[in-house]
Amino acid sequence: MKRLLVVLVLAAAAVSALPASASTFLAMDQGELVAASQAVVVGEVISVRAFWNDDATAILSEAQVRVDEVVAGEAPRIVTVRTFGGTVGRLRIEAHGFPTFHTGERLVLYLDGVEGAAEVVGYQLGEYRLVNRKGVEIAVPAVDAGATFIHRDGSAAARPQALPLADLKHQIRRAAEGRPVADLRDVR
């Protein structure tokens, strides 16, 4: 009995040590992300609002994104993007694995349903944050730090990596044309 208690205490300690934001994603390559998207855009978040859904069972957030460039597909100049999570009053719901938006940030978004309220394809896989590093715009995957990725067969998949925005746009355009997205070192 004492041994069982020790095992249970150790198991509880191990579970409590896991990151709260751990999410598991089905890996999607550029071709799959682009094929599932109505548009892939580069833009800036100009406003964000959070609100209760009609049943008052979940908090949703909507971001207005000014589209600076359509990399693939078609999109209006301003896109409304809806996701789960946000803050209403003093209540905050964190929807791990779902995209998040902050006014003023520049993003690459893979979108479905650009007329009306669009959704980001692939949850966080379809969102890259743009940062400037030494004069080069870098697309950084927006996935949670504790996220893991698996292939359809259940085997482990690599995490998406940050890359120059120009390289990401090149991959997106190749995928939109139906051409394989080769290692960029092979196509330059």
Q: How many CB atoms lie within 10 A of CB 172?
A: 23
Q: Does residue 137 have a pLDDT over 60?
A: yes
User: Tokens 């939109």 sit at which residue?
Assistant: 176
Give counts: helices (H), strands (E), the chain: 4, 12
Q: Does residue 19 have a pLDDT over 70?
A: no
Q: pLDDT, tens digit, for every residue of 44-89?
A: 999 999 999 999 999 999 999 999 999 999 999 999 999 999 999 9
Q: How many CB atoms lie within 10 A of CB 39?
A: 22
Q: Where are the alpha helices (DSSP H) in the chain?
A: 2-17, 30-35, 165-176, 184-187
Q: pLDDT, tens digit, for every residue of 96-128?
A: 889 999 999 999 999 999 888 999 999 999 999
CB 81 within 8 A of CB 120: yes
**CA 110 – CA 125 distance, rounded (Å):** 9
**CA 29 – CA 24 distance, rounded (Å):** 15
Helix (H, G, I), strand (E, B) or coil at 166: helix
Q: Where are the alpha helices (DSSP H) in 20-164?
A: 30-35
Average pLDDT (140-162) is 91
70 pairs with which residues across the strands?
41
CB 105 within 8 A of CB 45: yes
Binned at pLDDT 50, 70 and 90, residue 182 comes out as: low
Q: Does residue 188 have a pLDDT over 70?
A: no
This prediction has a pTM of: 0.83
Q: How far is CA 28 from CA 23, 62, 71, 94, in A?
A: 15, 24, 18, 23
Q: Does residue 177 have a pLDDT over 70?
A: yes
